[in-house]
């Protein structure tokens, strides 16, 4: 095997067969991927089950960072998007866009990381594609993962289902991923103990659904952070969100970095956190389920939902310990490009 990606690895010929066999199959192939047809063939569904289908491309820079790498992100991101629908994520596709000259050794590390994350999530990579672009027309490696999951009968979640009186939970500390990436790029020393939270949350979501069956919706606060996620949900459901600043978990190192750099941790990206809206009566049960999960130790109830004020439309308000209240807006423009 060559030690760098060459244009021929995307040719459709013998060199492409080699990178597929020796890099991708070596890392993560099961029977369906190895079968080598152009479409994976997957089992049917049981009565009442529906499909969940999602896609995400990953262009994060750098490719490797504390707590993860582009491969782990690519698996966790799509697993989490599928899981937000209440589905069990089952099958992923993987499309690579490689730049000529990229080290094969780095690609192997990324693929090994994808395999490990897929095992943890319990999903199989069943179909894939590889393209190579000339040097200077890409950035080493971009990865698209798409995925399919099965929504059990009776589960029907959505961002438009939030109701006044519902409780709002978050599964852990905010801003870790974004600050980690920023810190890598800028070589900041004061964030030495911060690492990306990239994690598959499908098991956590399944536990919450079992404990709190009337969950309205899940959403992972990735680009744009909690602020964007809550504003999206407020808009979809036409309700107000009221969250308490004091109750929102943020690590000291992340808060310190944000203070120094002028970022709002609530607008910084996360890759292993889940926002959950649930009827107030099931909020404690949902919280206990999160606390029982390996990725939910710092979960908290952070606020509640109210009717939108007729004169202002749906908004997200954040309250501080002194009773003050301000509007939490969506990010405008770009804070930190290529975070995922």
Q: Which of residues 67 and 128 has its CB atom nearest to its own copies in the complex?
A: 128
- Residues 51, 290: Cα–Cα separation, whole Å: 25
Q: Which of residues 48 and 165 has its CB atom nearest to its own copies in the complex?
A: 48
- Residues 210, 203: Cα–Cα separation, whole Å: 11
Judged by CB under 8 A, the chain residues 256 through 285 that form the site for its own copies are: 267, 269
- First CA to last CA across the chain, in angstroms? 29
Among 1, 35, 186, 307, binds its own copies (CB under 8 A): 35
Q: Which of residues 201 and 299 has its CB atom nearest to its own copies in the complex?
A: 201
94 binds its own copies (CB under 8 A): yes
Among 119, 309, 325, 338, binds its own copies (CB under 8 A): 338
CB of 249 to its own copies, least distance (A): 20
58 binds its own copies (CB under 8 A): yes
E runs forming strands in 226-269:
239-244
31 binds its own copies (CB under 8 A): no
63 binds its own copies (CB under 8 A): no
* Selection from 209, 198, 230, 175 nearest residue 77 by Cα: 198
Q: Which of residues 97 and 248 has its CB atom nearest to its own copies in the complex?
A: 97
Q: 71-74 — which CB contacts under 8 Å span 24+ positions?
A: 71/109, 71/110, 71/111, 71/112, 71/113, 71/114, 71/117, 71/143, 72/113, 72/114, 72/116, 72/117, 72/198, 73/196, 73/198, 73/271, 73/340, 74/114, 74/143, 74/144, 74/145
Whether the CB-CB separation of 43 and 145 falls below 8 Å is answered with no
CB of 288 to its own copies, least distance (A): 25
CB of 98 to its own copies, least distance (A): 10
CB of 192 to its own copies, least distance (A): 27
Judged by CB under 8 A, the chain residues 106 through 135 that form the site for its own copies are: 126-129, 131-134
């Amino acid at each position: 095997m060559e030690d760098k990606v060459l244009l021929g690895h995307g040719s459709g010929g013998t060199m492409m067969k080699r990178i597929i066999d020796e890099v991708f199959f070596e890392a993560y192939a099961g029977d369906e991927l190895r079968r080598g047809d152009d479409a994976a063939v997957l089992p049917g569904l049981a009565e009442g089950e529906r499909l969940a289908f999602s896609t995400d491309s990953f262009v994060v820079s750098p490719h490797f960072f504390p707590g993860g790498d582009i491969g782990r992100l690519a698996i966790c991101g799509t697993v989490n998007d599928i899981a937000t629908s209440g589905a069990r994520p089952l099958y992923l596709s993987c499309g690579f866009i490689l730049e000529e000259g990229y080290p094969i050794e780095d690609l192997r590390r990324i693929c090994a990381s994808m395999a490990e994350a897929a095992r943890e999530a319990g999903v199989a990579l069943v179909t894939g594609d590889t393209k190579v672009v000339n040097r200077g027309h890409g950035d080493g490696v971009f990865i698209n993962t798409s995925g399919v999951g099965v929504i059990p009968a009776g589960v029907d979640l959505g961002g438009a289902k939030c109701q006044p009186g519902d409780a709002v939970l978050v599964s852990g500390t905010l801003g870790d991923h974004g600050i980690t990436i920023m810190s890598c790029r800028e070589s900041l020393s004061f964030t030495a103990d911060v690492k990306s939270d990239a994690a598959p949350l499908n098991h956590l979501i399944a536990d919450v659904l079992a404990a709190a069956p009337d969950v309205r919706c899940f959403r992972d606060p990735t680009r744009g952070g909690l602020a964007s996620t809550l504003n999206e949900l407020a808009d979809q459901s036409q309700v107000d969100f009221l969250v308490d600043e004091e109750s929102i978990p943020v690590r000291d190192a992340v808060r310190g970095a944000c203070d120094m750099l002028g970022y709002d941790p609530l607008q910084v990206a996360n890759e292993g956190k889940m926002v959950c809206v649930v009827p107030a009566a099931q909020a404690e049960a949902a919280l206990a389920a999160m606390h029982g999960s390996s990725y939910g130790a710092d979960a908290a109830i952070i606020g509640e939902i109210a009717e939108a004020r007729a004169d202002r439309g749906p908004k997200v308000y954040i309250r501080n310990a002194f009773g003050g209240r301000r509007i939490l807006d969506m990010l405008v423009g770009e804070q930190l490009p290529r975070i995922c």
